[in-house]
Amino acid sequence: MLLPVAVVIIGTFGMMGIEHLSFINALYYTIVTIATVGYGDITPVTTSGKIFAIFLIIVGIGSFVTLLTNLIEWFSQRRQYGLHKRRLNMLIGVFFTEVGNQLLHIFTSYDANINSVRHEFIVTAQWSTKDFEQLQKKLSSYKYTIVPKLLDLEMLSRSLKDKGDLLVRQLENADFIENESYAELLWAVVHLRDELAARPSFYNLPENDIAHIVVDAQRVYTLLAKQWLDYMMFLKAHYPFLFSFASRTNPFVENPIATIS
């Protein structure tokens, strides 16, 4: 953007100094020359002016062609980025349908304090982007805690083991590298799965070992809740019919009902 502006400024003041044109006439001549219109009503008279005009034509046209090319490329990349982002969020939707919602429902049952904020997660069709952003800010201080005594390691391990293939396939997708928060969530889920799978039995596990698993589970729980809000905000903005189903099967509701009453 700066290069064409600089060419216009240099051209204007150059023609003012060399051809003794007024500012308006010099600016007018510079613009019609660069735009290749060339009405012919103002032309350089002196040899210096003609040489300067040749320079202005070469540099000016080149700079504006470069600007136009960059603008076209920018709009094309912007469109591709929008399509890529939608495709990525659709894959995230598959994750929540197959794994995420079930995990969130399990983790909320282990969270002794969830009832104090459960109502905050009841998103509706009337929500705006601002409502989601306010909730994200409000819940940033909430501590997603899992009570060790409530933790059912056997059920959690079985749930993650059944979805192992899906998790691996998603990790293999290079597109997810661009979404750092989701990539971090995937790695956290896979790590928790591996931790649980590495134990042949959950009977009489040492307290330190249980505490370690709880930390891993809380990491997944925290990342899941934040990603779920981002995903719901995306659905609300782009796919109202998917948002309707996702809100009816809200994992933060104790007993969600998919049917419309």
Instruction: Provide the residue ranges of all domains of the chain, joining segments of one domain with +.
Output: 2-75, 85-248
Contact between residue 202 and residue 153 where contact means Cβ atoms under 8 Å apart: yes
> What is the structure's pLDDT at 179?
78
Q: How far apart (Å, rounded) are the C-alpha atoms in residues 162 and 165?
A: 8
Output the CA angle 246-159-87, nearest 5 degrees.
40
| pLDDT tens digits, 99-132 | 999 999 999 999 999 999 989 999 988 999 899 9
Q: What is the mean pLDDT of residues 150-172?
A: 85
pLDDT tens readout for residues 132-146: 999 888 888 899 999
Instruction: Tell me the pLDDT band of 159, cut-offs 50, 70 and 90.
Output: confident
pLDDT tens by residue, 199-238: 989 988 999 999 999 999 999 999 999 999 999 998 898 8
E strands along 20-136, which residues?
A: none
Other Cβ atoms closer than 10 A to 116: 10
**With a threshold of 0.85, does the pTM exceed it?**
no
Given this model, what pLDDT does residue 25 score? Answer: 86
Residue pLDDT, tens place only, 38-77: 767 777 788 888 888 888 888 877 777 777 788 888 787 7
Distance separating alpha carbons of residues 16 and 42, to the nearest angstrom:
12
Q: Spelled out in words, what is the top-level CATH class assigned to the domain 2-75?
A: mainly alpha
- Lookup: tokens for 149: 């005594």
